[in-house]
């Protein structure tokens, strides 16, 4: 309801079909009167044998996303929940360095299937292409571990709403 104060944040995953809609996504959620406090963005994580080729992002698209989100962060401030540091992690050269051995989510978070069995690695499972992982949760945890002030602020916004 309009006027009701509830801690709602939106999470959306940008992929090859919607990556140019950042402004529309932000404008919609900011202006619709539902009291949304912010939007967090992830990018598509490729998964082997998933038939997800049409969603996979090219390096040029990832670069465009990082640039667009950086501009949106400057314009929308904390309504873009991703910190500047988190946005910078979406640059293709930085993403290519990601692997299970250096992934905070695979080391710190246990993920489970619907039947209760544990998934290897992370929520995406062992078929995920870590070098293309755009998980905002991973970037938020990494930014906190790096003691990045902007990422700590983003995490605090979410924690204060809980």
Residue 161's pLDDT is 67
pLDDT of residue 5: 65
Structure tokens, 98: 């990601």
Please list the rounded mean pLDDT of every run of 10 residues in the chain (162 residues). 70 97 96 90 93 95 97 97 95 89 81 89 83 89 90 88 64
How far apart (Å, rounded) are the C-alpha atoms in residues 67 and 53? 23
Query: Is the separation of the CB atoms in 23 and 72 below 8 Å?
Result: yes
* CA quadruple 136, 137, 142, 143: dihedral sign: positive
The crossing angle, in degrees rounded to 10, of helices 149-161 and 136-145 is 120
Give me the pLDDT at residue 3, please. 56
Q: Residue 105 has what pLDDT?
A: 80
């Amino acid at each position: 309801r309009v006027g009701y104060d509830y801690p709602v944040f939106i999470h959306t995953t940008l992929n090859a079909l919607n990556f140019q809609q950042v402004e529309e996504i932000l404008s919609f959620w900011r202006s619709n009167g539902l009291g949304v406090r912010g939007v967090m963005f992830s990018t598509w994580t490729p998964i082997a044998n998933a038939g997800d080729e049409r969603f996979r992002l090219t390096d040029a698209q990832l670069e465009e996303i990082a640039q667009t989100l950086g501009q949106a962060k400057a314009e929308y401030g904390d309504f873009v929940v991703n910190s500047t540091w988190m946005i910078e992690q979406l640059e293709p050269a930085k993403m290519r360095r990601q692997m299970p051995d250096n992934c905070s989510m695979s080391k710190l978070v246990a993920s489970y299937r619907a039947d209760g069995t544990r998934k290897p690695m992370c929520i995406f499972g062992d078929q995920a292409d870590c070098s293309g992982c755009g998980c905002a949760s991973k970037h938020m945890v990494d930014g906190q571990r790096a003691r990045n002030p902007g990422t700590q602020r983003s995490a605090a916004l979410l924690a204060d709403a809980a």
